Structure 1
Amino acid sequence: MSKSTTSAGAKPPSLFRQRNFVLLFTSQTGSLFGTQITYVAVPLTAVLLLDATPLEAGLLGALETLPFLLFGLFVGVRVDRQARRPVMIAADVVRALALAWIPIAHALGVLDIGQLFAVVFVVGTMTVFFDLALQSYTPGLIGRDRLPEANGKMQVSDSAAQVAGPGAAGVLISAIGAPAAILVDAVSYVLSFVAVAGLPADRTPEPRTGTRAASIRASIREGFAAIGRHPMLRWPTTAAVTVNLFSGALMSVFFLYLVHVGMGPAQVGLIVAVGSGGALLGALLTDRLTGWFGVGPMIIMAMALPVVGYLVLAAVTGHSPAAVAAVAAGSFVVQFGIPVFNVNVVSFRQICTPDELLGRVTATARTGVLGAFSIGSLLGGALGSAAGLRTTILVAAGGTLMVATVLLFSPVRRVRRLHEVSADPGSNAVPDADLTIQQQTS
């Protein structure tokens, strides 16, 4: 594990001066921009070239996240039982080959919707492996004391890809066609493979002293138990799962509501673009805001911000320029808080979880979050049909406010900074002014 070489109070050198982080950042930035191209190009390939029905288009979207719900917990166990870097390398190779098949099959005249389903499912499954291995590999590569900074920079890359990627995808697809544009994403995974291959090899995590290999089911239970017994894992994870339930409900009616009040595609596009700008700014400022106000208060603030945006959305009844500006501002506020929350909660998870449990704890949290969003989408659609779109938005606002309020009375509120790490929940007594998690020697 990396150790800090700076003296107390001295500002450490930029992570961009560390070769390992530069390689990791390059790997992720390239693949994230490539993914944004595929995000646009795959549906267009299905609709424009393969005449996909609405049901087929919906299934195509579901297959992107379904692998996490199906395999996430099991992959978490697998990742905790082997070195993580080889998993990342293999996932990049498979994703590149799978995506490359789409332009090849189109050029040969054999591409059909079934092949598109298969490619999306395979890529989604390999992304489960890569993401869980990445979050488990990073602490040992960067050093746990630099994780919040590293996660913040990676979140900036993600947000920048979301802002610039779709527009670049549109230009690229117009120039060379959707299937050929997907080849760019395949190349991005090849570049990611090259970067990850240049990173130092890691070892298989060593089990805790006195423990023996458990069954897969028992290993999965250990992931749930690790979150349940550690307050600095339990509270943020529970909040993330619960708020995603309400977020899913909101997003299920968001575009319908905008259309319902008379907004057209150009206005909706503007609102989405402004929201993406909020996410980018939030990612850029996360590290500075956390340094000023503390980790816990920023998590609670990031949880409360969407309430403001949701209430603004519910108050809009027309499509005047003022209404569009108000919704865009609300979207900006909502999206601003997302990277702030994500960076801090992921850092919590990586700092407070021992290496041999990182894969399972991450898989448990991600599966819960994605599952809650999916359930929330179904409930939001049902509530919107029964009680109206505006009522659904207000319920989402009320539920999100409830989660932020509960966190305000949790131990998370008193967390200011995380200097050292411990997987021992008994060491997490939270003093009034600060939280110092003492390091436990293995």
Structure 2
Amino acid sequence: MVTHGRADSIFRNKAFAVLWSSQSISFLGTQLTYVALPLTAVAVLDATPMEVGLLNALETLPFLLFGLFVGVMVDRWARRPILVWAHAVRFAALAWIPVAYVLDVLTIEQLLVVTFVVGVMTVFFEIAYLSYLPGLVDRDRLIDANGKLQASSSVAEVAGPGLAGGLISLIGAPLVIAIDAVSYLVSALALLRLPRDGTPPRREQSGPPPVWAALREGFAVVGRSTLLRWCTIAVFFLSLFFSSVMALYFLFLIREAGMGAAAVGLIVAGGSVGGLAGALLAERLNAWLGIGPTLVTALMLPGFGFLLLSFVEGASAGAALLAGAATFVGFLGIPIFDVTVISSRQSITAEHLQGRVNATQRSLSWGTLSLGSLMGGALAGVLGLEATIRWSAVGLFVPAVLLLLSPVRRMRRLADHAEPSSVGST
């Protein structure tokens, strides 16, 4: 593990500065593709609603299919090469879209394949990166490190869509995806400057256990830990109801509230600013309130925000302001929760179990997004957009109530739960 003394700024840790720079580049590129990919499908390839829905599903489906098994691999391989190769493959896959477009051979089937390949590489990267970070920074700086990374992601979410719209109007959606491809290549080259890491050490001398035994070992760690167990349950309900809201978010603003495209863009930007504020506040809230109260507070905010959103009516400036404020509050708590949970999980999990424990929660949270989207669409067909947003917002209080009733609410410091090396070390 690369250790560094406490400094005023975590960016004095050169290894973390490299990782943060690399991620910041790819975060911005990802936001460009977030806008350009569906526009390529709709505007260039005349995709059907079913094809667009499948395109969205393929982004997160790999977490359900492969996430747990990737966690086992991450615990058996060096992690830096996984990060580099995941970015390299994403570069190659995304680069095919503008090349095929220029050659006039691009099809919706190719777009679906590329999306799936990128999704699979995202699984490898996300789990490996979460497991690699604790080896770069001291564990008492993990909240700071994750907060900086989350803030960078939030900045990209604020700036990226507007930048994507301007670029698409100049050069077209398929060519904008080329910029994202290049961002992955640049990030991969930057990651080569990170310290080499070896295969995570294990207690056993007889070699790694079979895959299924390794998976059970990861589940057992989550099950034994009060913090990880309750937060994993909370993540399921948070992802389910949050994705139910977001599946209908744009339809609600445009069709139910009658907002124009410009107003919707400003409202979404306001929400992204809320995400940025949450990322910047996470470390301070943990210091002021402690881990348990911070988690409960963070989980209360999405419910309040989106419940307020369900009362937005009309296309007036006041309605747009209310929608922006509601979205700000709805997005504010998510990064606070994420930074706190991720940092705590990384800190209390033994190194040789990081991949499986991170994969367990990541696969559940990202995989549940597709289920929540389907649930939101189905409920909207029966209850209507406004009622579905409202009931989904009520559902978002469930994870906060669960933690409020659990022993987690009393936790102030990680030391109250377990020493950093103890979870999974016996």
1:230 Cα deviation (Å)?
A: 0.7
Letter in 1 for 2:394: G
Correspondence for 2:11 among 10, 16, 19: 16
- Which residue number in structure 2 is paired with residue 253 of structure 1? 248
Alignment of 1:144-155 (within 5 A): 144-155=139-150
Letter in 1 for 2:419: I
- Which residue number in structure 1 is paired with residue 159 of structure 2? 164
1:121-154 CA-to-partner distances (Å, cap 9, x unmatched) read 1111111111111111110111222111100000
**Ranges in structure 1 where 5+ consecutive residues have no aligned partner:** 7-11, 420-429
Correspondence for 1:67 among 43, 48, 62: 62
Asked if 1:244 corresponds to 2:226, the answer is: no
Asked if 1:50 corresponds to 2:45, the answer is: yes
Judge which range, 238-247 or 371-380, deviates more.
Answer: 371-380
Correspondence for 1:305 among 266, 288, 301: 301
Separation in structure 2 between the aligned mates of residue 220 and residue 127 of structure 1, nearest angstrom = 20
- Which residue number in structure 2 is paired with residue 296 of structure 1? 292
1:292 Cα deviation (Å)?
A: 1.9
- Which residue number in structure 2 is paired with residue 324 of structure 1? 320
1:60 Cα deviation (Å)?
A: 1.6
1:415 Cα deviation (Å)?
A: 2.4
Correspondence for 1:224 among 216, 219, 229: 219
- Which residue number in structure 2 is paired with residue 386 of structure 1? 382
Alignment of 1:41-440 (within 5 A): 41-209=36-204, 213-258=208-253, 259-418=255-414, 430=416, 437=419, 439-440=421-422
* Structure 1 residues 244 and 211: alpha-carbon distance in aligned structure 2, compared to 1, 3 A threshold: farther
The TM-score, its normalising length taken from structure 2, stands at: 0.94
Separation in structure 2 between the aligned mates of residue 90 and residue 311 of structure 1, nearest angstrom = 42
Separation in structure 1 between the aligned mates of residue 83 and residue 222 of structure 2, nearest angstrom = 25
1:172-231 CA-to-partner distances (Å, cap 9, x unmatched) read 222222222211111111111111111111111122246753221222222222111111
1:400 Cα deviation (Å)?
A: 2.1
Letter in 1 for 2:337: F
- Which residue number in structure 2 is paired with residue 422 of structure 1? none
Q: For 1:262, what is the secondary structure of its paired residue?
A: coil
Letter in 1 for 2:413: R
Letter in 2 for 1:218: A
Separation in structure 2 between the aligned mates of residue 45 and residue 381 of structure 1, nearest angstrom = 23
Letter in 1 for 2:351: D
1:342 Cα deviation (Å)?
A: 0.8
1:294 Cα deviation (Å)?
A: 1.9
Letter in 2 for 1:344: T
Asked if structure 1 preserves the Cα contact closer than 8 Å seen for 2:57 and 2:370, the reply is: no
* Structure 1 residues 232 and 213: alpha-carbon distance in aligned structure 2, compared to 1, 3 A threshold: same
Identity, % of aligned pairs?
53
Asked if structure 2 preserves the Cα contact closer than 8 Å seen for 1:296 and 1:416, the reply is: yes
Letter in 2 for 1:397: A
Q: For 1:366, what is the secondary structure of its paired residue?
A: helix
* Aligned residues between the structures: 423
Asked if structure 2 preserves the Cα contact closer than 8 Å seen for 1:232 and 1:352, the reply is: no
* Structure 1 residues 85 and 302: alpha-carbon distance in aligned structure 2, compared to 1, 3 A threshold: same
Separation in structure 2 between the aligned mates of residue 167 and residue 99 of structure 1, nearest angstrom = 21
- Which residue number in structure 2 is paired with residue 426 of structure 1? none
